[in-house]
Amino acid sequence: MDSYVQQNGYQDIISTQPAGSMLRDLKITSQSSMLAMDAHSVITFRKGYGRGADEQTLRAEFERLTQQ
């Protein structure tokens, strides 16, 4: 993820509110604490509430997605 941010000239990655009706369209009834989606809006990683913050696993998933 860090290399993707640098290669594309981003200063940082900041989470934002979901765009438009994204939660409804994807039938998400509760938001996970961590979520990753590929370019086709397929959820590739999800960690729910109370399952702990596994930042290393999420970072590895972002690295995998940016290599596609």
Residue 55 CA, chain-centre distance (Å), reads 11
Residue 17 CA, chain-centre distance (Å), reads 12
Q: What pLDDT score was predicted for residue 53?
A: 56
Q: State which residues form the domain around 44.
A: 2-10+19-66
pLDDT tens digit sequence for 37-50: 888 888 887 776 65
Residues 6+ apart with CB under 8 A from 41: 26
With pLDDT > 70 as the criterion, what percentage of the chain qualifies? 69
Count the domains in the chain: 1
